[in-house]
């Protein structure tokens, strides 16, 4: 186990959620499933692209909000599109590349080129990219690049 890992409390669906999450990204896997004394799943340890997480079963009184999210750097539009489709299937779209999956966990699906465009020393370029991004749900790299180059 890593010294530091993020733990998600997932209302009685820890194993289902961990299986879904590990299906999303390469180099992801279930590491361990721990059972409670009654045989039910208590906790699942898993990795997403080499980063370790825990999913802990608990009751419906706990829920996620947008104050924490999983941030995924995507190299291509195909990667953005694929993750977006999977995460919003049964979930919902939000703005600026944020998606909320069917378990309620927030994700940021962000092209790896976006931070550089947003921090460009030319404030007009950065502003155009920010404006373009603010009008999107799923991020469209070509639209960002067009705004950047304008």
Give me the pLDDT at residue 59, please. Answer: 66
Non-local (6+) Cβ contacts of 108 within 8 A are 69, 70, 71, 72, 97, 98
CATH of domain 1-62: 3.10.180.10
* Model pTM score: 0.91
Termini Cα distance of the chain: 48
Non-local (6+) Cβ contacts of 147 within 8 A are 128, 129, 131, 132
Give me the pLDDT at residue 92, please. Answer: 96
Non-local (6+) Cβ contacts of 19 within 8 A are 30
Give me the pLDDT at residue 66, please. Answer: 84
Portions of the chain given CATH number 3.10.180.10: 1-62, 64-150
**What parts of the chain have a pLDDT lower than 50?**
none
Give the whole-angstrom CA distance, residue 146 versus residue 131.
12
Domain 64-150 fold: 2,3-Dihydroxybiphenyl 1,2-Dioxygenase; domain 1 (3.10.180)
């Amino acid at each position: 186990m890593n010294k530091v890992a993020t733990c998600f409390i997932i209302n009685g669906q820890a194993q289902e959620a961990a299986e879904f999450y590990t299906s999303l990204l390469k180099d992801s896997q279930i590491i361990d499933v721990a059972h409670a004394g009654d045989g039910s799943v208590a906790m699942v340890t898993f990795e997403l692209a080499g980063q370790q997480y825990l999913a802990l079963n608990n009751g419906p009184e706990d829920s996620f909000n947008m104050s924490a999210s999983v941030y995924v750097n995507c190299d291509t539009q195909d990667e953005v599109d694929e993750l977006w489709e999977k995460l919003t299937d049964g979930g919902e779209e939000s703005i600026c590349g944020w998606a909320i999956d069917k378990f309620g966990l927030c994700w940021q699906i962000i092209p790896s080129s976006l931070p550089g465009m947003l921090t460009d020393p030319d404030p007009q370029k950065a502003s155009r990219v920010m404006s373009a991004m603010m009008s999107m749900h799923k991020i469209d790299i070509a639209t960002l690049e067009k705004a950047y180059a304008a």
